[in-house]
Structure 1
Amino acid sequence: MPMKMSATRKINRGPAGLLFAMSMVGVFAAAPAIAADGDNEAPADDLWSQDTLTGDWGGLRTRLVDSGVTIGLTEVSELLGNVSGGQRQGFDYMGRTELAVDLDLEKLLGWHGSLIHANGYQIHGRGLTGHNLGGNMLDPSNIEATRTTRLFDAYFQQALLDDTLSVRIGQIAADDEFLTSQYAANFINGTFGWAGIMAADLPSGGPAYPLATPGVRVKYAPNEQLSWQTALFNGDPAGSQAGNDNAQIRNRAGTTFSTNRDLFAITEAAYAFPADRQAGELPATVKLGGWYHSARFDDLRYDVDGDKIGATGADPRRNVNNYGLYGVIDKMLIAKPDTEDQGLSGFLRMAGAPDDRNLVSFYVDTGLNYKGLFEGRDSDIAGIAFSFAKVSDAASDRDKDYNRANPGATRPVRDYEAVIELTYQYAAAPWWIIQPDIQYIIHPAGYAASPTADTSLPASAMKDAFVLGARTTVKF
């Protein structure tokens, strides 16, 4: 009888095996060019000025890139802890190793405008949200995920129409390109990437880290100012709804490649205002977008008979489809003289979704960054940001209905969750960032009781959480 393969073995042969194979394909495809240029050794860079910790590999990295193969390895490690509030107090370590491979098929095969990209993660440690904060909606870490080795993106992209149109197909993620803010990306809290309203309202958090899913994206950019993009995704990146409640465990290796009958669609138009430093006109970008999901979504207050779930405990009625709208503004506010990108910049994002079928019905975040705040620290970035996620009225009313029906075991009425983050990115080297971080989380889990509270007794909401920590990012 053939020997059964263990679960660990399967995972290792999934994303890690695919990425290794792709990198080897690229190396061998580029071998002739490397051999031809093998006698020309690139000069060794100074450790503290080179782009990566491991440098140019004796010129091999540059020759690979020139031949169409780019290999990247990055390690993000952090220690975050809530010194007060939440479900319990304590510090947790979380780490993520990323391996990325890009194949430029124009350089490798002469195929104009085409590329292949794949990246995967080895996620280790334990996240603060699940362990200490009682399942809050605005995750204090944008790398927190279930421990595993996972394939993320794996797609083919083709440019068309004089490079004004690009098509991407394969396993992709919406948070790579949609609802993004270039200035919000400097913060550690996950909501400043894939906004908390999307993670809370979409099945399995939507097609975003750590779960990409099969899809296709089309982007049209007729000029440098205007662009429009739209994408269609499989409706649930976790695949089957059956099995473990944790979506990341249902698709542990990122290789489910599910294509169920439901569909998630998102579209976005963007306009970048031309910048003219001499005229005092600084860069700004405005984005407007919307999304649609074809699945049926549970009603948050009423059951199949039209009665209140908080009182009956019956199965919820099902609402047909789901949708939402959003907007993003990125703006440089003050430019530091005689610099390209130093100065004060800000962002604002807003989003909304129907109240009856979504835990979060309104969302807003905003923040400020200053790059080059201190003399001689041109690449450092200091930032402060605020985010607010409103719990829908339907969910709040359900809590009130429950309390009226169970006066001896009342629960807190959820209302909102908010976070204030203060951070500083210290660029110790082009390949090394050290980032101390402070967050204050208001109403963790939307002002819910601790998950470990006795459901037969009255319970109070978890207290606001004060989170301290630091992150280090190293590019190898």
Structure 2
Amino acid sequence: MLAAAIPAAAPVAAQAPPAIPALREGAGGDVRTSVAQPETSSQTSGGYARSVEPYLGPFGDPLGLRPVLKQRGVSYSLTYIADVLGNPTGGRRQGAVVEDRLNLRLYLDFDRIAGWQGATLHANAYFIHGTGLSRYDVGNLATTSVIEALPATRLYVLWFDQQLFDGKLGLRIGQQAADSEFFVSQTATLFVNSTFGWPTITGLNLPGGGPAYPLATPALRAKYEAGGGLSLQAGLYDGDPAGAARPGADPEAQRLDRTGTNFRVHDPALVVAEAAYAYNTEKGAVALPGTVTLGGWQHFGRFDDLRRDTLGLSLADPASNGLPRPRRGNAGLYAILDQTLLVEPDKDDEGLSVFLRASVSPTRSSLVAAYGDAGLAYKGLFPGREDDTVGVGVAYARLSDDARRADRDTILYTGTAMPRRRAETVIEATYQALVVPGFTVQPDVQYVIRPGGGIAAADGRRLRNSTVLGVRATVQY
């Protein structure tokens, strides 16, 4: 298919590209502009809605309830994801893990239930099992798998949505996750590493990792479709999903909210806002579609200084009181480009897409000061495998100057030779193969350069670069 597509690339770009089917909504709830958005993804909401149910025969819906419930406005779905991952080289130690997650989604359409137009209710619950490879073996900042979390049965999201003005304005209230709508690249949803979903710059800088898997938080969100491909959205979230920022609290946020039912509403706020422009999506467009997104966040809470105590001394100084100086707020900006580069002739969902994301967080409370990722994905690359998607991506996270100076202070005051943290880079290559609609198998390879940004191993030397090999299976019902 690639050979056929290359010579035809210029003509395709010069004429109206195939229409994008309405079923294939873009990840993050936006217009789909990435032709290489994968069949299944655990990164964000959105994407394909194919199910294995028709392939299960009499076991697909043994009581025949699903169509009856859907007619009455009640829908549900199950997504099961299992990862087998190992790092034969590098990291803290060599190891292998099996982890899995079952996601139960419930959707209520109040128009059918009670004649309430534009009103819906959504709920997600997670059943998480297994051991995390990053937590115990690799020691990297960008968690190796997006489903990695402490074992738990937890409510994830529970929100009510009201569409107004013919769907142009959407208002949402309830427990929500920012990573399903903000900072989302449609093409990047292919990848297994968590940083291609909710990037490490927000996951490490915000309390508890921010309102993102596996922790959501009470929030208000408004989204306005201005027309002409422009959409604006903003979210107001409780800024501490599990209470990890409280003095003396357990630093592991997931242990503070084991069931997802803390529903915290009195913490300093987190505001996230973005504007997205989807172009060349209208009928008759003469160029290939893409999306440009600009966004940012502002957290209004207090954060610990990474280097200084309340007396102005280095925290590594023996004379320090050990109390980090409080810093007010954390903020950052980001930009995203999702662009389709090539569409297979006579196809509407096969071809090549590219993504680029860049972010900075210059506030003194930020562990990660700058972040960037990029990648390519091709759907339908090989003849006879039109629904398979192959991709390669790279992500880079640079630690802040204060974090590096804190390492320098430790070396100076303790006299202990140790590496100074600088940055972490992850390179990932992956191939998602469709077995039947709703069931994919995905071999994956990752290479982590300077795990943890360059932290020390038990022998005092910098952790060796880590190679991670794995395979993922995803079933949607």
Tell me the TM-score range normalised by the shorter chain. Answer: 0.7 to 0.9
TM-score (norm 1): 0.85
1 CA distance for matches of 2:411 and 2:336?
A: 38
Q: Measured at CA, do residues 438 and 109 of structure 1 come closer, stay the same or move farther in structure 2, by a change above 3 Å?
A: same
Whether contact under 8 Å (1:83, 1:467) holds in the other structure is: yes
- In the other structure, the counterpart of 1:349 is 357
Mapping of residues 282-293 of structure 1, within 5 Å: 282-293=288-299
- The aligned residue for residue 422 of structure 2 is 415
Residue 48 of structure 1: how far off its partner (Å): 9.0
Could you tell me which residue of structure 2 aligns to residue 14 of structure 1? none
Do residues 309 (structure 1) and 308 (structure 2) align? no
The amino acid of 1:176's aligned partner reads S
Task: Name the % identity.
Answer: 44
| 8 Å contact kept, 1:49–1:429 | no
Q: Distance in 2 between matches of 1:440 and 1:53?
A: 43
For the residue of structure 2 that corresponds to 1:435, the secondary structure is: strand
CA distance in 2, matches of 1:53, 1:417: 49
Cα distance, 1:449 vs structure 2: 1.4
Distance change (3 Å), C-alpha of 1:195 and 1:46:
closer
Distance in 2 (alpha carbons) for counterparts of 1:187 and 1:52: 31
SS of residue in 2 equivalent to 1:309: coil
Are the aligned partners of 2:390 and 2:430 in contact in 1 as well (CA < 8 Å)? yes
- Paired residues of 2:52 and 2:438 also in contact (CA < 8 A): no
1:46–1:185 distance in 2 versus 1, CA, 3 Å: closer
Query: Structure 2: which amino acid aligns with 1:138?
Result: A
Kindly indicate whether residue 405 of structure 2 is the aligned counterpart of residue 405 of structure 1. Answer: no
Q: Report the equivalent of 2:29.
A: none
Which residue of the partner structure matches residue 220 of structure 2?
Answer: 216
Alignment of 1:130-145 (within 5 A): 130-134=135-139, 136-145=140-149
For the residues of structure 2 that align with 1:48 and 1:74, how far apart are their CA atoms?
12
Residue 311 of structure 1 aligns to a residue whose secondary structure is coil
Alignment deviations for residues 304-351 of structure 1 (CA, whole Å, 9 cap, x no partner) = 122222334532211111111001110001111110021110100111
Task: State the distance in 2 between where 1:415 and 1:67 align.
Answer: 56
Separation (CA, whole Å) in 2 of partners of 1:86 and 1:164: 48
Equivalent residues of 1:236, 1:260 under 8 A apart: no
Give me the CA root mean square deviation: 2.0
Structure possessing the higher relative contact order (Cα contacts under 8 Å, 6 or more residues apart): 2
Distance 1:277 1:468 in 2: 43
Task: Give the secondary-structure state (helix, strand or coil) at the position aligned to 2:227.
Answer: coil
Partner amino acid, structure 2, of 1:191: T
The runs of 5 or more residues in structure 2 that have no matched partner are: 1-49
CA distance in 1, matches of 2:143, 2:69: 38
Of 294, 300, 309, 2:300 maps to 294
TM (normalized to structure 2)?
A: 0.85
Deviation, structure 1 residue 298? 1.4
Q: 1:357 to 1:54 in 2, by over 3 A?
A: farther
Residue 34 of structure 1 is matched in structure 2 by none
* CA–CA separation in structure 2 for the residues paired with 1:384 and 1:276: 29
Paired residues, number: 424
Work out the CA distance in 1 between the residues paired with 2:432 and 2:221: 32
Alignment-derived partner of residue 378 in structure 2: 370
> Which residue of the partner structure matches residue 33 of structure 2?
none
Query: Could you list the runs of 5+ residues in structure 1 that have no partner in the other structure?
Result: 1-44
AA aligned to 1:164 is K
Name the CA shift for 1:69/1:224 in 2 (closer, same or farther; >3 Å): farther
Q: Is the 8 A contact 1:343 1:371 kept in 2?
A: yes
- 8 Å contact from structure 1 (residues 92, 128) kept in 2: yes
Give the match's secondary structure for 2:147. Answer: coil
Q: Where does residue 184 of structure 2 map in the other structure?
A: 180
Q: Report which stretch shifted further, 155-164 or 434-443.
A: 155-164
Partner of 2:26: none
* Cross-structure match for 1:436: 443
1:326 maps to 334
Q: Summarize the alignment of residues 105-184 of structure 1 with structure 2, pairs less than 5 Å apart.
A: 105-134=110-139, 136-184=140-188
| Aligned ranges 1:253-292 → 2 under 5 Å | 253-275=259-281, 280-292=286-298
**2 CA distance for matches of 1:170 and 1:53?**
37
Letter of the structure 1 residue corresponding to residue 215 of structure 2: L
Relative distance call for 1:352 and 1:66 in structure 2 (3 A) is same
- Find the residue that maps to 2:255 and give its secondary structure: helix
State the alpha-carbon separation in 2 of the partners of residues 421 and 53 from structure 1: 39
3-state secondary structure, aligned to 1:140: coil
For the residues of structure 2 that align with 1:58 and 1:192, how far apart are their CA atoms? 39
1:81 aligns with 86
Partner of 2:22: none
The answer on whether the counterparts of 1:100 and 1:120 sit within 8 Å (CA) in structure 2 is yes
3-state SS, counterpart of residue 135 of structure 2: helix
